[in-house]
Amino acid sequence: MAKLLDKQRYKCALGAMQTVQAITRAIPVLHSGPGCAQKLSDSIGSSGYFSPNIFPCTSINEKDVVFGGVKKLDTTISNALKVIDADLYVVLTGCIPEIVGDDTGEVISRYQDAEKPVIYASTAGFKGNNYKGHEQVIDAIIDQYLEKADEKEKGLVNIWADVPYQDLFWLGNIRELENLISELGLIPNTIFGYQRGISNIERIPKAEFNLLVSPWVSVGNMKKMEKKLGIPYLHYPTLPIGAYETSKFLREVGKFARVDEQKVESIINEHEKYYYYLIERYADMFLETRVMAKQFSVVADAQYALGITKFLVNDLGLVPAKQFITDDTPKAFQEQIKAEFENLNYGLKAEVNFETDSYKIHNEIQSHDYHGYPLILGSYYEKEITEDMFGHFLNISWPVQDKVVLDDFYVGYTGGIRLIEDIYSVAVQRWN
C-alpha cells in the first residue's frame, strides 16, 4: 500500500539548488514547474548575492509536457546569461522534464561557447533526495567543468563536507575544518560560502588530495575525481566533534598528508589543554546534570547522528539509547555506518536505525526507558515528544525552527565546546 510520509526530513533532489546557492556568484537555472522552487526555498539565508526569489525558471506547464519544454529552456538560459551577472550557471531539472524526456544535455551543449560556464545536473525528485541532488551538482561540476591539472599545488587540500543549508551549521563547520587543516600546514580549498566561488572551483584539480568528512554523502564524487582528475581522497566518515574525535581526525589527516608526527602532536596537545581546562572548570555541573540525563538519542542525518553519538559517548561519557538516521542512507553504506556506531570507547555500542518515518521513530523513543529524563538531539519534530517525556531537547537537524544559526559550528575542539554549551544550557534551564 502507498505510504503517506508526513514530517519530511529532507527535500527532493531539486533541493540541490541550495548547493548551487552556497557557491557565491553561482546561480541555479531551474527547468521545472513554477511551484517547485517556491516550495523548496527555505528562509534560512540566501547566498548573499542572489535572492532565491530571482532564480530563472522555465515554469513549464501542460503545453510543455505535451509539446516538450526544450525551446523554453533554451530561451530561459540565453536570457539568464543576458540579465544575470553570475560566474556559473547550473541548470537543474525537475521531475516533469525528465519524465517527458526533454533532452537538457543537448540544450546545454549549445552554450559550450558562452562567455560564462553553463552546466546541468539531473535533479529529478524521483531520482532521490537533496543529499543525492547535492552529489549530482558536484558531479556536474567535475564532469562538465573541471579538467585534469598538469601540475599540483603543494599542500593544497580540497575539503568536502555535508550538504549546505540542509546542514544548519554548514558554513561554520567547513570554515573550522579549514582552520584545522591550515594548522597542519596544509592549504585548504573549499567552494562554498563567503569569498569562495569559481576561483576555488578552478583550483580543485590542483589539489594533492580530497578530504571528505561525511559518512556517505559525496563518496561518489570523490571516486569520480580520483578517476577523472587523478586526485586521491581521504574519507573520514565521522564529523569530528570534541577533543577525542578531532585529535583522531588530525592524526589521520596528518598521516595521510605526511605531516611531521611531532608537529601534529604538539597542535593536538595545545588544543586539548585548553579544551580540558574548560571541561574541568565545569566538572561539577556535568556531574550534577548526569542525574538528569543518563541516556540520549540522536535523530538526524548520518553525519550528525554519528558525530554527536561519538562525542557524547567518548567525550562526555553518556550512554547511547537507540540512534536514528533519517537521511535515507543508501543501502550500500548502511553496514559501514553501523560498524562506526559499534566502535565507541569504553566498549559501548550504539544501536542504530535507518528510518525516515517519524511515527515509528517517535514510537520507539516513547517506548524506550531512558532511566530518567531523555536527552534528545533531533529535528524540530522531536521537540513535542521530548517535552511530553519531560526530556531535554536540542534542535540540531533539519528542519530547524527554534534557533538561528549564522556561522556557529559543532566541528573541532571549539565546536565540541559549543555543543556542550548548547546541551547544558537546555539542562540548566530545568533548575532555574
Residue ranges in contact with other proteins by CB under 8 A: 62-63, 65-67, 99-101
Stretch (H or E) spanning 217 = none
> Smallest distance, Å, CB 96 to other proteins?
9
Q: Which residue, 2 or 404, is less far from other proteins as judged by CB?
A: 2
Q: Which residues of 16-51 are buried (b: 16+ CB within 10 A; e: fewer)?
A: bbbbbbbbbbbbbbbbbbeebbeebbbeeebbeebe
Q: Which residue, 61 or 366, is less far from other proteins as judged by CB?
A: 61
Cα 7 from Cα 168, distance rounded (Å):
18
Q: Which residue, 99 or 339, is less far from other proteins as judged by CB?
A: 99
> Smallest distance, Å, CB 174 to other proteins?
38
Q: Which residue, 126 or 390, is less far from other proteins as judged by CB?
A: 126
Q: What is the DSSP string of 304-354?
A: HHHHHHHIIIIIT--EE--EEE-S---HHHHHHHHHHHT--GGG----EEE
Joined grid coordinates for residue 146: 573541471
Q: Which residue, 44 or 100, is less far from other proteins as judged by CB?
A: 100
Q: What are the residue ranges of helices labelled H in 58-129?
A: 62-67, 70-83, 95-100, 104-109
**Half-sphere CA count of 421, side-chain side, radius 13 A:** 11
> Smallest distance, Å, CB 55 to other proteins?
21
Q: Which residue, 100 or 389, is less far from other proteins as judged by CB?
A: 100
Q: Which residue, 58 or 386, is less far from other proteins as judged by CB?
A: 58
Q: Which residue has the cell 525537475?
A: 94
**Half-sphere CA count of 306, side-chain side, radius 13 A:** 26
SS3 annotation, 234-277: EEECCCCEHHHHHHHHHHHHHHHCCCCHHHHHHHHHHHHHHHHH
> Smallest distance, Å, CB 98 to other proteins?
9
> Smallest distance, Å, CB 65 to other proteins?
7
Q: Which residues of 130-143 are buried (b: 16+ CB within 10 A; e: fewer)?
A: bbbbbbbbbbbbbe
> Smallest distance, Å, CB 5 to other proteins?
21
Q: Which residue, 95 or 426, is less far from other proteins as judged by CB?
A: 95
> Smallest distance, Å, CB 102 to other proteins?
11
* SS3 (DSSP) at 204: helix
* SS3 (DSSP) at 206: helix
Instruction: Check the CA dihedral 395-397-400-405 and report its sign.
Output: positive
Joined grid coordinates for residue 160: 568536502
Asked if 16 and 136 touch (Cβ cutoff 8 Å), the reply is yes
> Smallest distance, Å, CB 124 to other proteins?
11
Q: Which residue, 126 or 282, is less far from other proteins as judged by CB?
A: 126
296 CB contacts (<8 Å, ≥6 apart)? 312, 318, 319, 320, 321, 374, 375, 376, 377
Cα 411 from Cα 421, distance rounded (Å):
14
Q: Which residue, 38 or 425, is less far from other proteins as judged by CB?
A: 38
Instruction: Check the CA dihedral 419-315-216-394 and report its sign.
Output: negative
Cα 432 from Cα 427, distance rounded (Å):
10
Q: Which residue, 63 or 360, is less far from other proteins as judged by CB?
A: 63
The count of other CB atoms within 10 Å of the CB of residue 288 is: 12
> Smallest distance, Å, CB 70 to other proteins?
13
> Smallest distance, Å, CB 28 to other proteins?
24
> Smallest distance, Å, CB 119 to other proteins?
25
